[in-house]
Structure 1
Amino acid sequence: MIFLIIGLVLFIGIHSIRLIPGGRNAMISGFGPGGFKVLYSLISLVGFGLIIYGKIEAHPTDSLYYPPEWGRTLALFAVPAALILIVAAYTPSHIRRFVQHPMLLAVVLWSGAHLMANGERAAVYLFGAFFVWSVLTLIAAFIRGDHPPKPPEGWGGDVVAIVIGALFAALLARFHLYLFGVGIIG
């Protein structure tokens, strides 16, 4: 499980640079804008790879708790909503305007739903780390006073977010067993 933990530290650590006052600007000053992007991307990719490898290697681990029976049902609704929010984060939409931080809220929904559906130690480390990080980062974003983008003219971005997010959710449900070892649909 050490690879999972190292991966989480790297991935979440580099994504937490904005939580340190002046941390992002200091790194950009030190490495230059291009160097910062390369370093950020490299650390993110290595961390992500270690998370995947570490989770596969650690599976199965002992259970820390028995999730409630409704946890899987919650995930069936929360994960598609999270996927719609992820698409909305990159699309000019009313969803993005209303939510303000759709990517962070998506991670809260995704990780929180998985914590309610799975009590296995490695899963708790994985989803718990992302849940805590996303909640803290969301709070910090609101404290910073990040402003939502201007509302779009039409509803096309919302339709795109919903359709593509729902399509990703359907594909993920279909292939979840093959990708992660846990079946979602029969």
Structure 2
Amino acid sequence: MIALVVAALIWVLLHVGIAGTRARAALAARLGEGGFRTTFSLASALAITLLVLAWRSAPTAVLWSVPRPLGWVLVAAMLAAFILFAGSLMARNPTSVGQGGALSAEPAGVLRITRHPMLWSFAIWAAVHVVGNGDSASLVFFGAFLVTAALGMPSLDAKVAARDPQGWAGFAARTSILPFGAVLAGRNRVAWRQVVLPGLVGLLAWAAMLHLHPVIFGVSPLPY
């Protein structure tokens, strides 16, 4: 378990302690933007490999059991995660806003729901597996991804705001970190036609994973 905790800390520190801080700017200035991206990608690949290997070999203990009704809620939550992930691939990535006038454009698709659809998809995925598995090793493993996604949202906001403060202020006013936050506050509205395609793609991917999950991971996500 110690190896798993260390691997989880390495993953979190790499993405929260470097990617979204002044350390990134310092390293990028020394290595160049391309050099930093390459080095960071290699470090991330190594970190996630260590994390997965540590998780597979870690001893674990059951911490709680999940009631069947809650199990179905978790299955439904994963549908939302798949839709947000699909939508994030079809919308302008928040890390690229501020380039080419993207900040002045009206948010489209799932960006109207949240300006961090991909990070929310990872956060939901991680939270579902923390709750659904209910064991100590999963708490550490999936918890590392949950922490990274949750802390990554304000960190990403700060990075893009520093790039274009005026443009970001307008973009942030029309969007929200919390899903439907800007909509409920009256600062935006959901254009349902723009989320039909992400919804269909997410639904198909969700259904495929429900079918393939026992084959790939050896356990069914359905709470039979």
Please say whether Structure 1 and Structure 2 have the same fold, judged by a TM-score greater than 0.5. Answer: yes
TM-score after normalising by structure 1? 0.80
TM-score after normalising by structure 2? 0.68
How far, CA to CA, are the matches of 2:113 and 2:122 in structure 1?
A: 17
Structure 1 stretches of at least 4 aligned residues deviating more than 4 Å after TM superposition: 141-146, 148-151, 154-157
The 3 A distance-change label for structure 1 pair 127 and 25 is same
Kindly provide the amino acid, as one letter, of the partner of residue 48 in structure 1.
I
CA contact (8 A) 1:11 1:47 kept: yes
Q: Deviation of residue 127 (structure 1)? A: 1.9
The 3 A distance-change label for structure 1 pair 161 and 10 is farther
Worse-matched range after superposition: 6-15 or 161-170: 6-15
State the match for 1:10 in structure 2.
Answer: 10
| 2:95 matches 1:98 | no
The 3 A distance-change label for structure 1 pair 180 and 67 is same
Kindly provide the amino acid, as one letter, of the partner of residue 80 in structure 2.
A
Aligned equivalent of 2:200, options 150, 157, 163: 163
The 3 A distance-change label for structure 1 pair 124 and 31 is same
Q: Deviation of residue 18 (structure 1)? A: 3.8
State the match for 1:173 in structure 2.
Answer: 210
The 3 A distance-change label for structure 1 pair 41 and 140 is closer
Q: Deviation of residue 29 (structure 1)? A: 0.8
Q: Which has the higher contact order (CA 8 A, sep 6+)?
A: 2
CA contact (8 A) 1:12 1:133 kept: yes
Structure 1, unmatched stretches of 5+, are none
Indicate the RMSD between aligned Cα atoms, in angstroms: 2.9
The 3 A distance-change label for structure 1 pair 54 and 99 is same
CA contact (8 A) 1:3 1:53 kept: no
Per-residue CA deviations over 1:57-111 (Å, capped at 9, x if unaligned) read 23x6211233444332122111121121112122124212331111121122112
Kindly provide the amino acid, as one letter, of the partner of residue 96 in structure 1.
L
In our comparison, the structure showing a higher alpha carbon Rg is 2
CA contact (8 A) 2:11 2:144 kept: no
The 3-state SS of whatever aligns with 1:65 is coil
How far, CA to CA, are the matches of 1:35 and 1:87 in structure 2?
A: 29
The 3-state SS of whatever aligns with 1:54 is helix
The 3 A distance-change label for structure 1 pair 47 and 103 is same
How far, CA to CA, are the matches of 1:184 and 1:96 in structure 2?
A: 29
The 3-state SS of whatever aligns with 2:90 is coil
How far, CA to CA, are the matches of 1:54 and 1:175 in structure 2?
A: 24
State, as a whole percentage, how many aligned pairs show the same letter.
27
How far, CA to CA, are the matches of 1:67 and 1:139 in structure 2?
A: 31
Q: Deviation of residue 116 (structure 1)? A: 2.1
